[in-house]
Structure formats: structure tokens, C-alpha cells
Amino acid sequence: MKYFLFAAMAISIGAIPAGGAPPPEDEPPRLIVLDSLAHFYEPVRFDHQLHIDYADCAECHHHTTASPATDPRCTICHTTATAGASVACRNCHGTKRPSGEDAAKPRPSHRYHIDIVSLAGAYHINCLDCHQAVDAGPIECIDCHAFTEEGKKFFHLTDSLLGSPKNQGADQ
């Protein structure tokens, strides 16, 4: 009986993650589908795992991972870093397009924080800059954004204007 209890305890202890390893529910997603404009464009399938294998998390999640700031414009104030509650881009980069109403809202007191780009802007700036720097990955709009039939109608596009079907969008 003692052997059985000892074995059960050993198995139980072995099941506890060691060394602060995150539990499985904290694992980042392998694939992210960006579909907020799905009525105009086919969803963009972002291969998160490919990017995790290539770059450090702080390359994209620049203010949330407790990695020290490297941009000289940021290090003026941010000499230390703390982990954010979430690494989701949309928590800092809004999904709503700026409006006149937004212009009237009070701005952060830090003058460097008045230019936070929208979520779409953050994706495009981060993705395009990196893809161009490493000379890999899509850089043309149509490489990611295939039009839906509704999108083609809305933008008055024809297949001949879009070029060959193979150039009408692709996965990341």
C-alpha cells in the first residue's frame, strides 16, 4: 500500500510543470485568423508559429513582454519594462478608425504616445517593415488581401483588373 501511495505521489508531482513553465492554456496560438473585414476580403491566415520560430516575441509585442525597450525614442522614458496584462495588439492599437470625435479626446500626457497607430496600421507597419528587411514574406496588398465577391462589387473591381487568380491573395 505504501508503494502505491508513493507511486501516486511521484506521478502527481511529475505532472506539475517545473521551472515556471507555463501551463498549456498560456501557449500562444499557432494560427491567427484576421477577419474583421471578411465582407470585403477573405480572412488573412497569419502563421503565428512560423513567426515565433523566426523572431523574439518582443519584435511584435513590443510593450507587453517585459523586454527592455530598444527604440531610442522609447528609452528616453522607458528604461525598465514590465509585463503587460495581455499581449494582444488590439489592447493598445484600436480597431476603430480615427474620427473628429477622437481628436477632441484628451491625449496621454507623454508626448510620444500621441501617435499610436490603429490596429491595421500596426499590422501593416510591423509586417511590411520586417518582410522588406528580411526580403521574405508578402509585401503587396493583394498578397494577403484576396477580395470576396462582395468586396469586388463594392470596389468596382473585375478579375481583369486584379490580374491572375493566383495573385488574388495568399496565406502568410
Q: What is the CATH number of the domain that holds 124?
A: 3.90.10.10
Cα separation values, 42 from 10, 104, 158, 172, Å: 50, 35, 16, 13
The length of the chain, given as a count of residues: 172
5 part of a folded domain = no
| Residue 65 and residue 88 in contact, taking contact as beta carbons nearer than 8 Å | no
| Residue 66 and residue 83 in contact, taking contact as beta carbons nearer than 8 Å | yes
126 part of a folded domain = yes
pLDDT of residue 150: 94
List, for residues 11-36, the tens digit of each pLDDT value: 444 444 444 444 445 688 899 898 88
Number of domains in the chain: 1
Confidence of residue 58 (pLDDT cuts 50, 70, 90): confident
Range of the domain at 63: 27-167
List, for residues 134-143, the tens digit of each pLDDT value: 998 999 888 8
117 part of a folded domain = yes
Q: Which of 87, 82, 43 is nearest to 61 (CA)?
A: 87
